[in-house]
Amino acid sequence: MDDFAKVLAAAGLDVARRALDRGYEASGAYLGRVWSDDRDVPVERHVATILAAADPELPRRITASVMAELVDAYARPVLLVPPAVDPSARGALETLAARGYSLVLVSNTMRTPGATLRKLLEQYGLLGFFKHTTFSDEVGIRKPAPEIFALSLRAVGGDAATAVHVGDDARLDVDGAHAAGMRVIQVRSTPGRPPAGRAPDAVITSLRDLPGAIDRLGGRSIDMGAPTWPPNPPTLGAPRQSRDAPR
């Protein structure tokens, strides 16, 4: 919260660091309640919740420009210390794109908003592979709600019946995508017995194995989610209608 305090001080608003820390904790409790219903809120709501918990009058004293600075301070850390990326992600995406699949990204966000995650994907050279990106903070819905899969498919003209979702979480990805009518490839560190719940249609231990797993499923088209870093894997890709697409 040091950067928050600096932004506020520059705007003539003296707020104790202890109060901001308290606000951060309160925002976590608030977000937990929202996320438990498979819903989400914009990043500005995160910031406003922190401010209101620190001082109930503070949100009304924040200008639009100061809010933008606070959002930047809130979202920036992941760019300064980026998470590790699956080293085989780029090769898998290149292969699938070359085969004519449209790739769509679907991700639950946590503290880092979708706008910043796009910058991170661009930094890793991965953003350009995706025809569409869906982040929960921007659409108000989180996995495993079927709606987030459905709206992502609609964005690219995809069909759940011929789509394949790729993700690592048994509930968010496997159960969620199955509920949306899709087949699922689960990425797990070990290929052993899956946890309780409906089994995925295929299991891989690395994105390196993804193109082959899709071939074995025999789908005409793919809605693919390609995990690149924990704990928030991107999740969808959908078919592009072209003569290069697998039949």
Tell me the pLDDT band of 198, cut-offs 50, 70 and 90: confident
CB neighbour burial string for 174-212, b if at least 16 within 10 angstroms, e if fewer = bbbbbebebbbbbbbeeeeeeeeeeebbbbbeebebbbe
Round to whole Å and give the CA distance between 66 and 174.
41
Q: What are phi and psi of 145, to 5 degrees?
A: -60, 130
Task: Render pLDDT for 79-105 as a digit per residue (tens, 0 to 9).
Answer: 999 998 889 999 999 999 999 888 999
Q: What integer pLDDT is reported at residue 160 of this predicted model?
A: 92
- pLDDT above 90: percentage of residues in the chain: 76
Per-residue pLDDT of 3-34, as tens digits, reads 999 999 999 999 999 999 999 999 999 999 99
Mean pLDDT, all residues of the chain:
86
Tell me how long the chain is: 247
**How crowded is the C-beta side of 191, counted as CA atoms within 13 Å?**
8
Alpha-carbon distance 201 to 193, whole Å? 13
Per-residue pLDDT of 156-183, as tens digits, reads 998 998 899 999 999 999 999 999 999 9
Predicted pLDDT of residue 197: 66
